[in-house]
Structure 1
Amino acid sequence: MSKEHWDNSFSDKDFVYGETENEFINHKSNIIRQHSKIGCFAEGEGRNAVYLATLGHDVTAYDQSAVGLEKTNKLASQHNVNVKTAEIDLTKEKVESNQFDAAIMVFGHVPKADQQFLMESMIDSVKPGGHVIFEVYSKDQLAYQTGGPKSIDMLYDPTDILNWINDYKCIHFYYGEAERHEGKRHIGLGHVIQVVIKK
């Protein structure tokens, strides 16, 4: 998906994926130690980054959409928190290694050829001992029609993900159904892959 696609996607006045954090991030955020430095990958309009900032973390949001990052800043100011933003194409540009205590990603969908690069950049950005937490739609999501990309090339295969996280301690891995109500783009029962690893 191009920068133009996401700029257009986020140009609605409302927050297309809602203003509240993803449920999985909410459930797993307690494993991140207090006052951590966190990178939020493919963060879109900033709902998860702002949530983590309200918990007292030092948060940087990465996305290729300037429109999404503007909305991140707007949402952060509404909650009286600060979130650093960085406009970056995560399929081509690697984020600096060993800088974060934790990294998260929620529904960061990129073409299959770019998925490993994105995952490795996200994992590398975390210091040893840090956590990586993410939730994405699986290839099975196409049949559900409740959100996410319409192309199987943009969805994730659980076997690929298991291979990419194989070198790390896996704390949580789930491949199956989940109910998601996030704005107007994720509505109802879907099929997800959830991961928590410790580097």
Structure 2
Amino acid sequence: MNRWDDRYKHDRYFYGTKPNAFLAQQYAVFEHLPHVACYAEGEGRNAVFLATKGHQVTAYDYAQEGLRKTAELAEQFDTTVETKHHDLLNDTIEPAQYDGAVMIFGHFAKDQQLHVLEQIMTSLKPGGIFLMEVYEEAQLAYKTGGPPNIDYLYAEETLRDWAQQYEVLHFDCVEVTRHEGVGHKGLCKVVQVIVKK
């Protein structure tokens, strides 16, 4: 059992059951996209939110316990989410299969971050839209969520440079307040990105 399985094996939803606020605010970008993938999706809160809006949703995660809870949460909301046990660092994703993609607080070591983002973009069809919110390096000082290691946080400039190869619909590095379960509590520093392939 990996540490994420250990975190998710309890009845409580560590990051809550409501969607991430940035995803909810920007939902309109996905409104007409039929098939959306949620990467590093954890316990399913964002995938279930999208499924309740009528999308076909596939949730990818490394933790079997997270996927189990995703299916349970979907059932609670009288919807369905396809779940896939997947290691974004080592497993390949079939290209050009999704209309949209989401990654909320999917944190990886710096030398792996761009590889993960490229994997996600590869999975999108031309014209597909990717939305993410992740903690910026400055988050280390806030202590309100996210990895307690700067190597697993994102540098604003690195993401800004990466995003330029696509059509940038939204890019911001900003202080926001996040109350998402026990995992994210209070003021924090995030990078928010929406790009079109």
Same fold (TM over 0.5): yes
Moved over 3 A (4+): none
Root-mean-square deviation (CA, aligned residues, Å) is 1.0
Corresponding residue for residue 60 of structure 1: 58
**1:35–1:56 contact (8 Å) kept in structure 2:** no
Corresponding residue for residue 84 of structure 2: 86
The 5 Å alignment of 1:115-154 reads: 115-154=113-152
Q: Tell me the percent identity.
A: 43
TM-score norm. by structure 2 comes to 0.97
Corresponding residue for residue 45 of structure 2: 47
Tell me the distance in 1 between the aligned counterparts of 2:57 and 2:16. Answer: 19
Corresponding residue for residue 156 of structure 2: 158
**1:132–1:196 contact (8 Å) kept in structure 2:** yes
- Residue type of the partner of 1:120? E
- The 3-state SS of whatever aligns with 2:78 is coil
**1:106–1:135 contact (8 Å) kept in structure 2:** yes
Please give the per-residue CA displacement for 1:12-70, whole angstroms capped at 9, x wherever unaligned: 21000000000000011111133510010000000000000000000000000000000
- The 3-state SS of whatever aligns with 1:127 is strand
Q: Any gaps of 5 or more consecutive residues in structure 2?
A: none
Tell me the distance in 2 between the aligned counterparts of 1:24 and 1:104. Answer: 11
Q: Shift of the alpha carbon at 1:169?
A: 0.6
Please give the per-residue CA displacement for 1:58-103, whole angstroms capped at 9, x wherever unaligned: 0000000000000000000001111000001111122211111100
157-166 vs 139-148, greater mean Cα deviation: 157-166
63-72 vs 111-120, greater mean Cα deviation: 111-120
**1:22–1:106 contact (8 Å) kept in structure 2:** yes
Corresponding residue for residue 26 of structure 2: 28
Q: Shift of the alpha carbon at 1:177?
A: 0.5
- Residue type of the partner of 2:118? E
